[in-house]
Amino acid sequence: MQKIIDPTEQALDLYFSETGAKCILLVGGSSLDKLRIGSYFHDLEARKGISVVRFSDFKPNPDYSSVLAGVKLYKESGCDMIAAVGGGSAMDTAKCIKMYVTMDDSTEFIEQQIVPNDIEFLAVPTTAGTGSEATRYAIIYYKGNKVSVTDSSCIPTAVVFDEDTLTTLPDYHRKATMLDALCHAVESYWSVHSTDESRSFAADAIKRILAAKDSYLANTPAGNKDMLIAANIAGKAINITATTAGHAMCYKLTSLYGLAHGHAAALCVKALFPFMVKNTALCTDSRGQAYFEDMLRFLADTMSCSSPEEAAAFFGSLTDSLSLDAPKASADDITLLAGSVNEDRLKNHPVRLDHDTIAALYKEMLS
């Protein structure tokens, strides 16, 4: 079970003493120097005799070569633990370093089967959205292609929720990351792979996100802490189910129009939700249409709505209220977007979506 560590010096000191770590590879960007947790790591060797080796050689879309550099630094520095402070890019880089560092370096790690290891791995998320610190997924670019590396051994063994890390988050990214967490929870709830456990996580996350929304958007310490926890719980949900069409449809939106990931995902879920409610007869979940309709009612109740129709409208209104508008698309853009959707991810979706339907949904959201 993932340990939750308080962001206090006393709690962190106790944690590191219990791990027995002597040298930590700290994965994090330049923003780390401005954070309270950054000051803690800066003073750790002088205070506790634990060496800290910084690794910042990664980009917003981390490349396999960066992972190789991190593996090399870990080994050459004699590290025995990994810590990551940052958003999804730092987490994904650190996850891959953690997985690869004990594997055979005579051949490409990306081509090998993951061999689990028990290296201690502390995560300190600096956005309340991805929930990456709770999932078995890492995204890196290999020879120009986006690759998902997946194994449960990359899930951090401990996490720190430090509200201080969110205080300087730009308003746009504050909104977008919150919606990313909400999309994770909603998509996990309706996924064909949902279980009692994943729906429990998803429902808990939805309630926490909606309860914390106003104080989080106001950048209060309590709101920031609550949203970090909610995003983590949403991450636990998608760790079981993976995401669905909302995420499958959003990736090209981010690159084509420069949208934040959560913004793009919310636009897709906003279009998908009412379509699903109106087309339950297209259910592809093996548990059947009746189950699917009941699930939508339970989801609506979780969102404090009286019906699935009201829940779909509520999600759309929430997105609109944050002024996260949709870009305008040309006919060529619609064609490009519809052809970009990963069909494997659509297999997780509970309603059948063909190419023409996807194109129509893009046209609706981007007109």
pLDDT at residue 60 in the model: 83
Mean pLDDT for 301-321 is 98
Which tokens is 77 given?
């520095």
Lowest-confidence range among 41-45, 87-91, 291-295, 354-358? 87-91
Per-position DSSP letters for 96-155, written without gaps between them: HHHHHTTS-TTS-GGGSPP-----EEEEEESSSS--GGG-SEEEEEETTEEEEEE-GGGS
Mean predicted confidence (pLDDT) in 308-312: 98
Q: What is the pLDDT of residue 345?
A: 79
* 148 pLDDT tier (thresholds 50, 70, 90): confident
pLDDT digits (tens, 9 = 90+) for 249-282: 998 999 899 999 999 999 999 999 999 999 999 9
Side-chain-facing half-sphere of 359: CA atoms under 13 Å: 12
The answer on pLDDT for 61 being more than 90 is: no
Confidence of residue 291 (pLDDT cuts 50, 70, 90): very high
Cα 260 → chain centroid: 13
Cα–Cα distance measured from residue 309 to residue 33, given in angstroms and rounded to the nearest whole number:
47
**Section 92-108 average pLDDT:** 94
Distance from C-alpha of 103 to C-alpha of 329, rounded to nearest angstrom: 45
Residue 160, phi then psi, degrees to nearest 5: -115, 125
Least confident of 60-64, 86-90, 220-224, 341-345: 341-345
Four-point Cα dihedral 357, 137, 97, 167, nearest 10: 90
Equal CATH topology for 3-165 and 170-366: no
CATH topology for 3-165?
A: Rossmann fold (3.40.50)
CA dist., res. 263 & res. 308, Å (int): 22
How do residues 149-199 score in pLDDT, each as one tens digit?
A: 999 999 999 999 999 999 999 999 999 999 999 999 999 999 999 999 999
Examine the pLDDT at 38 and tell me if it is beyond 90: yes
Token pair 């592809």 is found at: 284
Answer yes or no: is pLDDT of 328 > 90. yes
DSSP structural state of residue 63: B
The pLDDT assigned to 147 comes to 87
CATH number of this structure's domain 170-366: 1.20.1090.10
Q: What is the pLDDT of residue 51?
A: 97
**What's the pTM?**
0.95
pLDDT in the model for residue 145 = 83
- Domain parsing of the chain, residue ranges: 3-165, 170-366
